[in-house]
């Protein structure tokens, strides 16, 4: 069973564990390297700062009670758009619905924020991730990600409007 937990600043050790595992497993898929987050970069205040980024939403997935993946949502330069970042699923949990649950949680968060577009950056050679995003109705965009100016494929998804009668 896949369960989700929204991360708070005190969850920084868990986020650290998963972020370092993600970078070790799939460094080419991310905009940073393990070295960026180790040594002088491996400081509690830095890990906490990432979890307290204004307007962000960070979630960890647990599969059978063990951490199995993570994803984050962050605001962009436009009020109507947010970005899916730090998406990763442990190799042992792939194909078991973890990625689906993480994407759906970030979509729900984005919709509650009133965002009309959810976007992400993915490396062009990351076929499994591209297939997952395509199954979730993400389509190629022309824009360049503000978070990753390097060679990335930018994909977007239009979100349903949140109807909140008052």
Q: What is the tally of structural domains in the chain?
A: 1
DSSP 164: -
The answer to whether 12 and 51 have CB atoms below 8 angstroms apart is yes
Q: What strands lie across the sheet with 81-89, from one edge to the other? A: 2-6, 57-63, 66-75, 81-89, 117-122, 153-158, 139-140
What pLDDT is stored for residue 56 in this prediction? 96
pTM: 0.88
Phi and psi torsions of 64, nearest 5°: 55, 40
Cα angle, residue 11 at apex, residues 9 and 16 outer, rounded to 5°: 105
What pLDDT is stored for residue 143 in this prediction? 56
**Is residue 123, in this structure, part of any structural domain at all?**
yes
- Which SS3 state, helix, strand or coil, does residue 90 take? coil
Q: What is the CATH number of the domain that holds 99?
A: 3.40.630.30
- Which SS3 state, helix, strand or coil, does residue 88 take? strand
Neighbours of 139 (CB within 10 A): 10
Q: How confident is the model at residue 166 (pLDDT cuts 50, 70, 90)?
A: very low
**Is residue 97, in this structure, part of any structural domain at all?**
yes
pLDDT in tens, 26-71: 877 787 877 888 888 789 999 999 899 999 999 999 999 999 999 9
Handedness of CA 116, 84, 102, 8 (dihedral sign): negative
Say how far apart CA 71 and CA 129 lie, in whole Å: 13
**Is residue 165, in this structure, part of any structural domain at all?**
no
**Is residue 111, in this structure, part of any structural domain at all?**
yes
**Is residue 150, in this structure, part of any structural domain at all?**
yes
DSSP 146: S
What pLDDT is stored for residue 159 in this prediction? 95
Q: How confident is the model at residue 150 (pLDDT cuts 50, 70, 90)?
A: low
What pLDDT is stored for residue 151 in this prediction? 65
Residue 147's domain spans which residues?
2-158
The answer to whether 87 and 102 have CB atoms below 8 angstroms apart is yes
pLDDT in tens, 94-107: 999 999 999 999 99
The answer to whether 119 and 53 have CB atoms below 8 angstroms apart is no
What pLDDT is stored for residue 29 in this prediction? 77
């Amino acid at each position: 069973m896949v369960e989700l937990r929204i991360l708070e600043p005190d969850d920084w050790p868990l986020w650290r564990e998963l972020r370092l595992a993600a970078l070790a497993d799939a460094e080419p898929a991310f905009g940073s390297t393990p070295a960026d987050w180790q040594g002088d970069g491996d400081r509690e205040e830095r890990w906490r700062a990432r979890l307290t980024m204004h307007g962000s939403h960070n979630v960890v997935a647990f599969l059978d009670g063990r951490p199995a993946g993570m994803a984050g949502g962050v605001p962009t330069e436009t009020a109507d758009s947010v970005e899916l970042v730090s998406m990763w699923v442990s190799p042992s949990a792939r194909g078991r619905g973890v990625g689906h649950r993480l994407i759906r949680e970030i979509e729900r968060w984005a919709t509650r924020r009133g965002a009309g577009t959810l976007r992400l950056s993915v490396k062009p050679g990351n076929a499994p991730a591209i297939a997952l995003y395509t199954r979730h109705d993400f389509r190629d965009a022309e824009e360049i990600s503000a978070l990753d100016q390097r060679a990335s494929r930018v994909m977007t998804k239009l979100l349903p409007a949140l109807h909140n009668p008052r």
